[in-house]
């Protein structure tokens, strides 16, 4: 088999090349940028790479590598150093009340690594000593409770895989195609396995009074985040979680405790959970009045829009992950619904004129990310790629135009409209809208 020749750079003389070069330089990575289109680095390094290619014996086949526990907590290969969270500085006034984005275009399967799950803080990352953390449950209960983390770990446990999507995910795209990459347009989401105590079990321990209708979870960080949660959700599938993907929550995800509300907008999943008050009416806190309400064209606003509707995005190819040449091509993407399990995903190559069923692979779980694939031969012609999720309630992911007909352009949150990627003959991809 002949050695593959470096392909011409498909991304063209655009700013994306400098993006990739910068990330390579920052990470010290060379060449290996699978799915990043990092051809420039590969060409430059071709001479030094050759000594590790057949017929030569690679240097790593001749010398010993690091011993055990040289990395007591493992980390990704240095060649994956550009697989990181990123932010968009102009979005917010401060880094402490801001958001970073999951690199969806560089991930596979349905589980997000803990170190890559997007962050959304309102007062920075609280660094909490678990020995000094308490969960207080009070209000309309028979016995107000004070629980340590050790107490909480004595309750019966549950494990649950669920996606967490920020209500503002894709919010920058309401007025048109704005950010070039699914990391930025769809990356305010992650999906992990949580371990914790059903909130129902904790409320049983406290004993709910008959007029208990609403809960107010509160965070221990400097924003003291509060939301009103209807008691029905708490008694259904809410979890007070202390582990994600098998290990303790990361500080940026609420260590040592967070609320998990499967299918509902991320803002309600209060991190650094320290207090749950039980009441008989909602509190109408800042995060459910000023924020997380949806302004409609008539000047009225929806409130308590808890569930995240069915949504999907093609993660590869995508603007940060161009196609590397004609021929057999794997299209990979994610679908999810806050109302249940994904029933199916359709893919279009012509901007929504014709659709074909994608192949779901791996677990298809209630209110979790679901992986889909569609394999096709690309002949080098321009394409307009779209994906359309359906969930088990019969809901079909709408177009952006259909959403705008109902909601106008200023509702900020809950943009689950169909995303279009324009594939150029070079293999480069851009974020566009079509009609």
Partner 1 sequence: MSRSRNLIPAALSAILFAATPVAAERLNIGRAATPEEIKGWDIDVRPDGQGLPVGKGTAALGETIFQERCASCHGEFGEGAGRWPELAGGSGTLKSENPVKTIGSYWPYVSTVFDFVHRAMPFGAAQTLTPDETYSVTAYLLYLNDILKDQDFEVNEKNLASIRLPNEKNFFMDDRETAEKEFWTAKPCMTNCLPKEATITSHARILDVTPDKAADSAKKAPPVQ
User: What is the closest distance, in whole angstroms, from the C-beta atom of residue 250 to partner 1 in the complex?
Assistant: 22
User: What is the closest distance, in whole angstroms, from the C-beta atom of residue 412 to partner 1 in the complex?
Assistant: 6
User: What is the closest distance, in whole angstroms, from the C-beta atom of residue 114 to partner 1 in the complex?
Assistant: 24
Site for partner 1 in 217-246 (CB under 8 A): 218, 222-224, 226, 230-233, 235-236
Nearest alpha carbon to residue 236 among 166, 294, 162:
162
**For residues 387 and 312, is the Cβ–Cβ distance under 8 A?**
yes
Rule CB under 8 A: is residue 367 a binding residue for partner 1?
no
- Binder among 18, 48, 52, 159 for partner 1 (CB under 8 A): 18
User: What is the closest distance, in whole angstroms, from the C-beta atom of residue 266 to partner 1 in the complex?
Assistant: 14
- Binder among 27, 30, 87, 157 for partner 1 (CB under 8 A): 87
Three-class SS of residue 342?
strand
Rule CB under 8 A: is residue 85 a binding residue for partner 1?
no
Rule CB under 8 A: is residue 390 a binding residue for partner 1?
yes
Binding-residue total with partner 1 (CB under 8 A): 120
Three-class SS of residue 181?
coil
User: What is the closest distance, in whole angstroms, from the C-beta atom of residue 33 to partner 1 in the complex?
Assistant: 16
DSSP per-residue codes, 316-341: ESBTTB---SSEEEEEEEEEE-TTS-
- How far is Cα 287 from Cα 293, in angstroms, rounded to an integer? 8
Site for partner 1 in 164-203 (CB under 8 A): 168, 171-172, 176-181, 184, 200-201, 203
At which residue do the structure tokens 């599938």 appear?
A: 237
CA–chain centroid gap for 53, Å, is: 37
Positive or negative: CA dihedral 305, 310, 315, 320: negative
Site for partner 1 in 280-309 (CB under 8 A): 281, 283-286, 289-291, 293, 295, 297-307, 309
Rule CB under 8 A: is residue 422 a binding residue for partner 1?
yes
User: What is the closest distance, in whole angstroms, from the C-beta atom of residue 218 to partner 1 in the complex?
Assistant: 7
- How far is Cα 3 from Cα 178, in angstroms, rounded to an integer? 40
Rule CB under 8 A: is residue 144 a binding residue for partner 1?
yes
Rule CB under 8 A: is residue 341 a binding residue for partner 1?
no
Nearest alpha carbon to residue 203 among 222, 176, 184, 230:
230
């Amino acid at each position: 088999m002949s050695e593959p020749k470096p392909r011409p750079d498909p991304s063209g003389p655009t700013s994306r090349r400098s993006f990739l070069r910068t990330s390579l330089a920052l990470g010290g990575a060379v060449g290996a940028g699978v799915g990043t289109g990092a051809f420039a680095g590969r060409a430059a390094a071709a001479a030094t790479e050759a000594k590790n290619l057949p017929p030569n014996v690679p240097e790593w086949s001749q010398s010993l590598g690091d011993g055990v526990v040289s990395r007591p907590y493992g980390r990704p290969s240095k060649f994956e150093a550009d697989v990181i969270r990123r932010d968009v500085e102009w979005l917010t006034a401060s880094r402490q009340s801001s958001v970073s984005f999951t690199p969806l275009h560089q991930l596979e399967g349905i589980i997000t690594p803990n170190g890559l799950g997007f962050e959304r803080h309102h007062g920075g990352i609280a660094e909490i000593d678990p020995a000094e953390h308490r969960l207080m449950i009070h209000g309309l209960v028979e016995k107000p409770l004070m629980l340590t983390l050790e107490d909480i770990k004595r309750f019966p446990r549950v494990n649950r895989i669920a996606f967490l999507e920020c209500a503002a995910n894709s919010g920058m795209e309401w007025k048109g195609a704005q950010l070039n990459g699914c990391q930025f347009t769809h990356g305010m989401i992650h999906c992990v396995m949580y371990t914790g105590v059903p909130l129902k079990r904790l409320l049983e321990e406290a004993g709910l009074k008959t007029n208990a209708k609403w809960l107010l979870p509160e965070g221990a960080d400097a924003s003291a985040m509060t939301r009103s949660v209807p008691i029905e959700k708490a008694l259904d599938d809410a979890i007070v979680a202390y582990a994600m993907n098998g290990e303790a929550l990361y500080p940026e995800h609420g260590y040592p405790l967070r609320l998990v509300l499967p299918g509902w907008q991320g803002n309600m999943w209060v991190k650094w959970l320290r207090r749950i008050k039980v009441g008989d009416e909602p509190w109408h806190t800042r995060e459910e009045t000023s924020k997380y309400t949806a302004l409609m064209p008539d000047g009225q606003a929806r409130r308590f829009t808890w569930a995240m509707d069915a949504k999907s995005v093609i993660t590869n190819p995508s603007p940060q992950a161009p196609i590397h040449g004609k021929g057999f091509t794997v299209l990979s993407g994610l679908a999810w619904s806050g109302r249940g399990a994904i029933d199916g995903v359709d893919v279009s190559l012509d901007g929504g004129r014709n659709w074909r069923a994608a192949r779901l692979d791996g677990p298809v779980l209630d209110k979790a990310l679901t992986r889909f694939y569609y394999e096709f031969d690309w002949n080098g012609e321009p394409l307009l790629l779209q994906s359309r999720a359906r969930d088990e309630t019969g809901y079909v992911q709408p177009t952006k135009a259909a959403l705008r007909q109902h909601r106008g352009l200023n509702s900020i949150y809950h943009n689950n409209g169909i995303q279009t990627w324009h594939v150029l003959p070079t293999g480069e991809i851009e974020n566009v809208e079509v009609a």
